[in-house]
Amino acid sequence: MLKKYLFCCFLFLSMLSTGAMAKNYFTLDNKAKFLPFSEAETPQMLVKNLTGSLTNDVDKARILAAWMVYQMQRDGYRHKELIKYSNRGFKAPPPLQNDPFKTRIGTPQEFAVLYQQLCQMAGLETIVINGYAGWNIPKTNPLQPVVNAAGMILGYIPTNFDLQRYEAAWNAVKLDGEWQLIDTYWMIANPKLMEGQDYSSRRSMEAYLKRRTINPPSLNRLTQSKRIDNDYFMANPHQFIKSHFPSDVTWQLLPVPTTWAVFTD
């Protein structure tokens, strides 16, 4: 009877704690979601207006991540381009020149770099982690694209570029003395929410990015249908490794790193 009582008390306190955290995040998330463009004309202004009154590093990391989710869009054109070239067995051309803060659109790598910049402005120690992310990733050796790239210089025909569509980047942020894994690109809960995938050529997408540099989309357009997937904020390393494999296995943050063979099994 006593054990049952203690368990009920523990469950009740856990629910209170979770509710408090959810309420806190709700407040932070909404502030980030509805921050007007007039208060985010520069990255410095954005960070000051979002984190200026915050003293907790986790809160700072969260509100900046929420801003990335709500006020940034995934680059659907680049995503489509990588799949096309992977399917054809060719190396994809380099990404188009883009200032993601101005256009509010970015690749996983651009998301990670921008989030790092914002976190550093807020006084948070942050790094960008490069690697591969996705589900059902082929077992191809991740060094193969590098070998193929070298082969192209030497005149050989590349044979396998399967992995380039899975090339990704995310962040590690030191919070309360411990490194935490955060992927703001994957925090956008609906993976189909992308922008620019309707453009058929690099020239048309390039022109679109230039227009967005001058006239970014409305706040309503950026935030509509968005919600946050909390699995990728301060992610559990044991769960994170199921979809994300860093090039430097140290950043798996696991006691025993997972091998590529196990990751792709």
Q: Judge whether residue 86 has pLDDT over 50.
A: yes
- What class has domain 29-263? alpha beta
pLDDT, position 147? 47
* Mean pLDDT calculated for residue range 183-190: 97
| pTM (two decimals) | 0.86
pLDDT, position 221? 94
pLDDT, position 139? 86
Give the pair of three-digit tokens for residue 63: 């509100």
pLDDT, position 141? 73
* Mean pLDDT calculated for residue range 24-52: 96
**DSSP assignment of 37-56, as one string?**
GGG-SSHHHHHHHHHTT---
Classify 189 as helix, strand or coil: coil
Q: Judge whether residue 6 has pLDDT over 90.
A: no
The CA distance from 114 to 163, in Å, is 24
Q: Domain locations in the chain? A: 29-263
φ, ψ of residue 106 in degrees (nearest 5):
-165, 160
Q: Judge whether residue 202 has pLDDT over 70.
A: yes
pLDDT, position 109? 98
Q: Judge whether residue 220 has pLDDT over 50.
A: yes
Closest CA to 185 of 252, 249, 116: 116
Closest CA to 70 of 183, 234, 227: 227
* Mean pLDDT calculated for residue range 200-229: 95
Q: Judge whether residue 197 has pLDDT over 60.
A: yes
* Mean pLDDT calculated for residue range 109-133: 98
Question: Distances in Å between the alpha carbon of 25 and those of 31, 50, 59?
Answer: 10, 13, 8
For the chain, the average pLDDT equals: 88
Q: Judge whether residue 232 has pLDDT over 90.
A: yes
